[in-house]
Chains A and B, each alone.
Chain A
């Protein structure tokens, strides 16, 4: 069993950056595939990016290229997602999720609400 515990809610001003953490606990292999998915208010799910340990590559959705950085700290089993140049449209719940069977997601964090408001 794997648990993903995310950092708390954030309120940011337009133009600022936010960094969300995702702590993994439980029984899991050394190399993890962690992805980030967001969900706007009353909206659907949107994949942002993730790491594939098979090829060692991180891939981001074109929409977020240049604004997103995801990292993993293996010493603390924590993944991070930083999104910069925030705008009001970035107000959403942000989830981390473990990738399995190539690119489906079996375990999810509880979500981190990011609110962008002046």
Chain B
């Protein structure tokens, strides 16, 4: 199975630029998605194929990377962005998620 490892939880302030990293245990090309989840809610789809923004997602979100190293960047944090973020590989079965990175208010 492909293991996905995310960067630790992070504290930040409104207006900050924040990056969350995700590392795959083997190359997944660009078959990576990012999700945002708030307590008690289902995950929300943000980015697919590593860098393509899902329709309706604010442009302050961006994704980059390929192979084994990926990054989700929020250019200017808004109050609504404080949540837990997950990466997911869909290069091969079983699809696997990172452990999650909680973005908290400083």
Contacts and interface: CB of A to CB of B under 8 A. Distances in A.
Contacts of A107: 45
B98 to A, nearest CB: 7
A63 to B, nearest CB: 8
A45 B86 contact: yes
A101 B13 CA distance: 34
Interface string A102-115: 11111111110000
Contact of A104 (B37, B42, B88, B94): B88
Contact of B88 (A45, A59, A100): A45
A44 B86 contact: yes
B100 A44 contact: yes
Contacts of B94: 47, 59, 61-63
Given A44-B86, A95-B42, A111-B42, A105 B33 contact: yes
Interface in B7-49: 31, 33, 35, 37, 42-45, 48-49
Give the size range of A's interface with the partner. 20 to 34
A5 to B, nearest CB: 12
Interface string B76-106: 0000000000101010011111111000000
A102 B42 contact: no
Contact of B45 (A44, A62, A105, A109): A105
B96 A102 contact: no
A102 B90 contact: yes
Given A108-B42, A110-B42, A101 B88 contact: no
